[in-house]
Amino acid sequence: MGGNQTLVTEFLLVGFLLSPWMRILLFGVFSLFFTFTLLGNGVILGLISLNSRLHTPMYFFLSHLATVDIAYACNTVPQMLVNLLRPAQPISFAGCMTQTFLFLIFAATECLLLVVMSYDRYVAICLPLRYSTIMSWRVCLTLAVTSWTIGVLSALVHLMLLLPSPFCGPQKVNHFFCELVAVLKLICADTHLNELVTMVSGVLMMVGPLFTIVVSYAHILHAILKIQSGEGRWKAFSTCSSHLCVVGLFYGTAIILYVVPQHGDSQEQNKYLLLFHSLFNPMLNPLIYSLRNRDVNAALRRWLKRRDLHESLTDKKKLNINRPNVSPYLICAQEYRDML
């Protein structure tokens, strides 16, 4: 049986069962969403790296989340866009295994990063006097590296079980990318061990972290309710609301996909749920953090003001190129004060 695997050189990705005009429409819409995902998370990364006020543990972890979201989308969406224009596109065996491996890494890492971010908020609100000591840069770096390492090791376990398995025809993956559960259905051997590891991994990587997040926010809520001023309560809650929205979106779809038992022919429903999980979540995350986070908004406004000022100074310099005794920076000084 194991020798059959050497005959498998590629898989066919079935994708979505849609009419041709609907495929073209969705290609345009999803291309736009993919662009927004890259731009939104790219802006978050740029603002955090360029603005010293955002060099804090909270935004350090947010930069890792943005990195995961970009990688998450880049791993699955381009292949899906190709399949929308040209259905049943082949993907090599090595490419399929790589795509599955990377997807598992990014999914597990995001689960753990969301837990780390909730712990950061717990320390900031419940233990504010010890925050700088507990959340030192060494601790932050350790937590981030640990999240990535566990994500890689978890994905490696699935890959090591998947690679020796014999695959037999037809090699049609009923999905828009090489998703683990869809690939397991093509194995012509006993997959109980693979399914058991998938279920245990789902519990450890989703239910366990989600329970930890709920416990953290229970303590946070208790601490917020003890704050006397309404303004203080609102400020403390606003720092957590963005993270709660992201947690709800991520874990809501993930638990339905990998933890809740499936009934009947739910493969098509799972495709759309996973599409939301791998495309819309990474696109919505930067929107949620930028719209509901005053620090990110302020950093973006300062960057736009500096850009406008630079363009204004450049224009003044061009206009006064023949007036060497007049400094364009002095001319624009009042304009700069007005903007501030």
Query: How many domains does one find in the chain?
Result: 2
The reply to whether 269 and 300 lie within a common domain is: no
The reply to whether 179 and 321 lie within a common domain is: no
* Backbone region of residue 237 per phi and psi (left: phi > 0; alpha: psi in -120 to 50; beta: other values): alpha
* Backbone region of residue 136 per phi and psi (left: phi > 0; alpha: psi in -120 to 50; beta: other values): beta
Q: Which of 144, 183, 160, 141 is nearest to 14 (CA)?
A: 183
Q: How far apart are the first and last CA of the chain?
A: 72
β-bridge partners, 172: 12
Q: How far apart are CA 159 and CA 154, in angstroms?
A: 9
Q: Which of 139, 177, 172 is nearest to 270 (CA)?
A: 177
Coil/strand/helix, residue 44: helix
pLDDT the model gives residue 294:
63
β-bridge partners, 11: 91
User: 212 is written with which tokens?
Assistant: 């930890």
Which residue pairs from 330-336 have beta carbons closer than 8 angstroms and sit at least 24 positions apart in sequence? 335/309, 336/309
Non-local CB neighbours of 51 within 8 Å, separated by 6+ positions:
299, 302, 303
The reply to whether 277 and 138 lie within a common domain is: yes
| pLDDT tens readout for residues 180-196 | 888 888 888 888 898 88
Q: How far apart are CA 320 and CA 240, in angstroms?
A: 50
228: number of Cβ within 10 Å: 7
pLDDT the model gives residue 125:
87
Tell me the pLDDT of the chain (340 aa) as tens digits. 444 444 677 888 888 878 888 889 989 999 999 999 999 899 889 888 888 788 889 889 989 999 999 998 999 899 888 888 887 778 888 999 999 999 999 999 999 999 999 999 899 888 989 999 999 999 999 999 999 999 999 999 999 999 888 887 678 888 888 888 888 888 888 888 988 888 888 888 888 888 999 999 899 888 888 877 777 777 777 767 777 888 888 888 777 776 666 655 566 777 878 887 778 888 888 877 765 566 666 666 666 666 554 455 455 555 454 444 444 444 344 443 444 3
The reply to whether 234 and 298 lie within a common domain is: no
Q: How far apart are CA 10 and CA 93, in angstroms?
A: 5
Contact 2, 166 (CB under 8 A): yes
Q: Which of 20, 133, 111, 36 is nearest to 77 (CA)?
A: 36
The reply to whether 142 and 209 lie within a common domain is: yes
DSSP state of 86: S
Q: How far apart are CA 168 and CA 183, in angstroms?
A: 11
The reply to whether 184 and 301 lie within a common domain is: no
Contact 125, 45 (CB under 8 A): no
| pLDDT tens readout for residues 258-316 | 666 665 556 677 787 888 777 888 888 887 776 556 666 666 666 666 655 445 545 55
DSSP state of 201: H
The reply to whether 302 and 284 lie within a common domain is: no
Note the helical H segments in the chain: 20-50, 57-85, 93-126, 131-134, 137-162, 180-184, 192-202, 208-225, 230-258, 267-275, 281-291, 294-319, 328-331, 333-339
Reported pTM = 0.81
The DSSP H or E segment spanning 10 is strand 10-13
Place of tokens 């006020």: 53
User: 269 is written with which tokens?
Assistant: 């429903």
Residue 10, domain extent: 2-292
Q: At what angle do helices 208-225 and 93-126 cross, to 10 degrees?
A: 20
The reply to whether 334 and 275 lie within a common domain is: no
The reply to whether 216 and 312 lie within a common domain is: no
Q: Which of 259, 256, 253 is nearest to 277 (CA)?
A: 253
Q: How far apart are CA 147 and CA 139, in angstroms?
A: 12
The reply to whether 42 and 189 lie within a common domain is: yes
The CATH code of the domain that includes 258 is 1.20.1070.10
Q: How far apart are CA 340 and CA 325, in angstroms?
A: 27
The reply to whether 50 and 182 lie within a common domain is: yes
The reply to whether 283 and 332 lie within a common domain is: no
